[in-house]
């Protein structure tokens, strides 16, 4: 393992090719926009941007072997990710790879497998312009909110509302308020096996959310939090001799 964090930014990359409105916001793709920010941040060793249309869907063993933390954005092509690749990502998380799941990635195969619940929610894209969202920090001591003010305000956002069908998070970092009245658990952390999972809500494809410095900073902080850790010598399981004399 290198000293710096090796990040794979997995981006579905379909909206950008099919919807001119999205291509206008993200001409090089959402993955590129997130990746070019991450690669400039301290402690990041390398960033690789993967897309669904890449060979092996951007999820080859060579790429996964070189990934400490993966970020995941998907929406309209969740079912195109092969079951085999989704299972590989799931297993990598159990083995220690960090996973930062963004926005509509809540319905991705790896996230649903890791949660074990339906992961459904309410949503609304009001008249194409969205509505105001305030993401309130509810755990100010959490490393993911380092350098973040007590709330982040997004003037135009798609609404996601409760109930969000997830298991209770191990750590709740953000709760969002929306202009239309709903609330949503918009920043949630879980441990799964040796891996860590951070779900972060913002990022609807028609709004320039991933140009917002605070949103990018939270993604970076999430990557740092989710980075792989290793117990020296590994964890021993199974039938063991006692460490102390028993009789
Ligand atoms: Zn959306």
Q: What domains sit in the chain, N to C, each tagged with a CATH number?
A: 5-226 (3.40.50.880)
For helices 30-38 and 213-226, give the axis angle rounded to 10 degrees: 70
> What's the CA-to-centroid distance between 205 and ligand 1, angstroms?
6
What residues are neighbours of ligand 1 (ion), with CB under 5 Å?
104, 158, 204
Measured CA to CA, the distance from residue 134 to residue 116 in angstroms comes to: 28
DSSP lists the bridge partners of residue 69 as: 7, 98
Each residue's pLDDT tens digit, 189-223 = 999 999 999 999 999 999 999 999 999 999 999 99
What is the rounded radius of gyration, in angstroms, for the C-alpha atoms of the chain? 18
> What's the CA-to-centroid distance between 2 and ligand 1, angstroms?
35
- The DSSP secondary-structure symbol of 228 reads -
Q: Which residues of 194-210 are buried (b: 16+ CB within 10 A; e: fewer)?
A: bbbbbbbbbbbbbbebb
> What string of pLDDT tens digits covers the 247 residues of the chain?
458 999 999 999 999 999 999 999 999 999 999 999 999 999 999 999 999 999 999 999 999 999 999 999 999 999 999 999 999 999 999 999 999 999 999 999 999 999 999 999 999 999 999 999 999 999 999 999 999 999 999 999 999 999 999 999 999 999 999 999 999 999 999 999 999 999 999 999 999 999 999 999 999 999 999 999 988 998 999 999 999 999 9
> What's the CA-to-centroid distance between 124 and ligand 1, angstroms?
9
- DSSP secondary structure string, 26-54? -TT-HHHHHHHHHTTSTTEEEEEEEETTS
Residue 134: its H or E element: strand 131-137
Give me the pLDDT at residue 1, please.
Answer: 47
């Amino acid at each position: 393992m290198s000293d710096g964090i090796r990040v794979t930014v997995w981006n579905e990359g379909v909206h950008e090719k099919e919807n001119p409105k999205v291509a206008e916001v993200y001409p090089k793709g959402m993955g590129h926009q997130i990746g070019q920010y991450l690669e400039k941040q301290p402690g990041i060793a390398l960033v690789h941007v993967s897309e669904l249309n890449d060979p092996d869907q951007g999820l080859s063993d060579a790429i996964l072997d070189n990934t400490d933390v993966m970020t995941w954005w998907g929406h309209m092509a969740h079912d195109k990710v092969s079951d085999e690749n989704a299972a590989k990502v799931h297993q990598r998380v159990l083995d220690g790879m960090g996973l930062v799941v963004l926005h509509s990635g809540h319905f991705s195969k790896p996230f649903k497998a890791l949660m074990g619940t339906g992961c459904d929610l309410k949503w609304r894209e009001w008249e194409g312009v969205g509505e105001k969202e305030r993401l309130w920090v509810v755990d100010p001591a959490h490393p993911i909110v380092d350098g973040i003010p007590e709330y982040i305000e997004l003037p135009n956002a798609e609404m996601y509302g409760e109930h969000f069908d997830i298991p209770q998070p191990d750590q709740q970092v953000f709760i969002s308020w929306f202009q239309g009245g709903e609330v949503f658990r918009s920043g949630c952390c879980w441990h799964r096996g040796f891996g860590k999972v951070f779900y972060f809500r913002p990022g609807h494809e028609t709004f320039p959310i991933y140009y917002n410095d605070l949103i990018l900073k939270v993604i970076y902080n999430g990557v740092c939090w989710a980075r792989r850790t290793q117990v020296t010598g590994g964890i021993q399981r199974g039938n063991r001799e006692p460490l102390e004399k028993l009789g």
